[in-house]
Structure 1
Amino acid sequence: MRFPTSLLLAMALMLSPAYAQEQSIEDVISSQIDAFGAQDADKAFSYASPTIQSLFGTPEAFGMMVQNGYPMVQNPAELEYVDQITNGSYTLQRLRIQDQSGQDHWFAYEMIVIDGDWRINGVYRIGPIGLSA
């Protein structure tokens, strides 16, 4: 028995990061940032991957880490989603966050699919994108 090509394509898409479409990567990141701004550590924690949740243990510990290490994420003046880089089982979403004082901060959010939903699996500071000397 032969599988129709469309069925094989559908199965491949379900196993790839691109399949998680209910909320886009940008939606998930924006929702987490909105939750931080609303002081809702439980909601912000819900967007983290199980690995990150295990690392911090509680929403409160996670919220304190963000407050102390990434204060610009709690109340950004501006967000700019720059590009995405997919590498096998994860996608990096690179973005610029401008804080309230006008300073730009550049990050790569590592996004993975868990049970069909995008989850944040790490956030890394990176250098400015697209600038050359």
Structure 2
Amino acid sequence: MRVAVLLVALSIAFSPIAAFADDVTTAQGVIRAQEQAFGHDDAATAYSYAAPAVRQIFPAPDIFMSMVQNGYAPVYRHKSFEFGDSKTEGSSIAQRVHIIDANGEAWEALYTLEQQADGSYKITGCSLLKAGQAV
């Protein structure tokens, strides 16, 4: 009986960790899918991962893609794109990405994502800093 109670207690205690890990994995999948869409110059698919607030600022896929090409070149074209630390808070996830750009320079991107009413995650923003720069 004690073993059964212990097993139930452990499963309850660790279920938020599993949910957290699933959410982070889902969010990383969204970021990776958008990154691959950029690599294929697929503006419509890349745009589909943007949160509604981002879509209000950039009301069409071609406008969004132009912004990424001009303001986020290391995200748009790179040699390396690897996930770092992540943090969840409520329905939001912050995900660090280590990027080596097309010229071999290191960058740090901080993506933010928010869970939507349908349960999906959409990208709400991306901050980009050259590695080693102070915030």
| 1:74 CA drift (Å) | 1.8
After superposition, the Cα gap between the structure-2 partners of 1:127 and 1:92, relative to the gap in structure 1 and judged at 3 Å, is: farther
After superposition, the Cα gap between the structure-2 partners of 1:37 and 1:31, relative to the gap in structure 1 and judged at 3 Å, is: same
After superposition, the Cα gap between the structure-2 partners of 1:106 and 1:19, relative to the gap in structure 1 and judged at 3 Å, is: closer
- Kept in 2, the 8 Å contact 1:112–1:121? The answer is yes
Measure the CA separation in 2 of the matches of 1:25 and 1:66: 19
List 4+ stretches of structure 1 deviating above 6 A.
none
Structure of greater Rg: 2
Q: TM-score, normalised by structure 1?
A: 0.77
Measure the CA separation in 2 of the matches of 1:53 and 1:67: 16
Q: Could you say which residue in structure 2 is the equivalent of 1:53?
A: 55
- Percent of aligned positions with the same letter in both sequences? 33
- Kept in 1, the 8 Å contact 2:106–2:130? The answer is no
| 1:125 CA drift (Å) | 2.0
Gaps of 5+ in 1: 1-8
- Kept in 2, the 8 Å contact 1:76–1:99? The answer is yes
Gaps of 5+ in 2: 1-11
Q: 2:106 aligns with which of 90, 104, 108?
A: 104
Q: Say what the alpha-carbon RMSD is for the aligned residues.
A: 2.6
- Provide, for residues 46-86 of structure 1, a one-character-per-residue CA deviation record: whole Å limited to 9, x for no partner: 00001111111000100000010011212210011111012
- Provide, for residues 99-126 of structure 1, a one-character-per-residue CA deviation record: whole Å limited to 9, x for no partner: 1211011111001111111110000124
Q: 2:41 aligns with which of 39, 42, 52?
A: 39
SS at match of 1:26: helix
After superposition, the Cα gap between the structure-2 partners of 1:113 and 1:95, relative to the gap in structure 1 and judged at 3 Å, is: same
Q: Could you say which residue in structure 1 is the equivalent of 2:66?
A: 64
Measure the CA separation in 1 of the matches of 2:45 and 2:37: 6
Q: Structure 1 stretch 118-127 or stretch 104-113: which is displaced more?
A: 118-127
Q: TM-score, normalised by structure 2?
A: 0.76
